[in-house]
Amino acid sequence: MLHQVNLMVDGLGIAFFSAKKMAYVKSNSDFFEEEFDRPADIANHINKGDITAFCTGSGGDFNMYFFLGQPTEDILEEFPISVRLALEVQGGSVQFCDVYWLMKWDTDFPKEQIISLEDGYYEMTACTRLPESGFWGEDQTIYIYFQKVAQMPQLDYKGIPDLFVDDYE
């Protein structure tokens, strides 16, 4: 395991990016409103891998575990709700945050919200399951896997991908 953290989220999703890759964004700007609020704009960023995200379906308390590689079949059985994303890492690290944090851009993150990764392209897999409580975001576990690849994976999202389902059995 690379890292483990508990992340409290007010918004409806979690974003990931490398500060160096996103260096063009002005400090304190409202990146969310300007570039990450409309489905087509979100999809554009997710598909090119400069900043990526998934929708959690609610705010809440998320126990996040980060790994290198791909999830095993056993993990995918245990955590059957998943999304595949991609990300370009520059500067040796990835930051992650509540998507609402993007409303006031600031790359000065708490140390626990920064993961060291080699520069390059990564396929990301996020997987989860409905918490025992039956409520999304209530002490929910999310596994995030980073698999380094030779080139940027081709994605075709039309908006932000969901890491939850409306009707879960």
**Tens of pLDDT, residues 13-30:** 999 999 999 999 999 999
Helix (H) or strand (E) holding 17: strand 13-17
Q: Residue 6: its pLDDT value, please?
A: 97
DSSP 33-88: HHHSSSHHHHHHHHHHTSEEEEE-SS-EEEEEEEEES---HHHHHHS-EEEEEEEE
Helix (H) or strand (E) holding 32: helix 31-35
Could you tell me the residue ranges of all domains in the chain?
A: 3-149
pTM for the model: 0.95
57 with 137: CB under 8 angstroms?
yes
CATH superfamily ID and name for 3-149: Competence, DNA-entry nuclease inhibitor, ComJ (2.60.34.30)
Average pLDDT over residues 110-122: 96
Phi-psi group of 120: left, alpha or beta (phi > 0 → left; psi -120 to 50 → alpha; rest → beta): left
**Tens of pLDDT, residues 42-101:** 999 999 999 999 999 999 999 999 999 999 999 999 999 999 999 999 999 999 999 999
Average pLDDT over residues 134-152: 97
Helix (H) or strand (E) holding 16: strand 13-17
Under the banding of pLDDT at 50, 70 and 90, the label for residue 107 is confident
With vertex at residue 153, the alpha carbon angle to CA 46 and CA 1, rounded to the nearest 5 degrees, is 85
Q: Residue 12: its pLDDT value, please?
A: 87
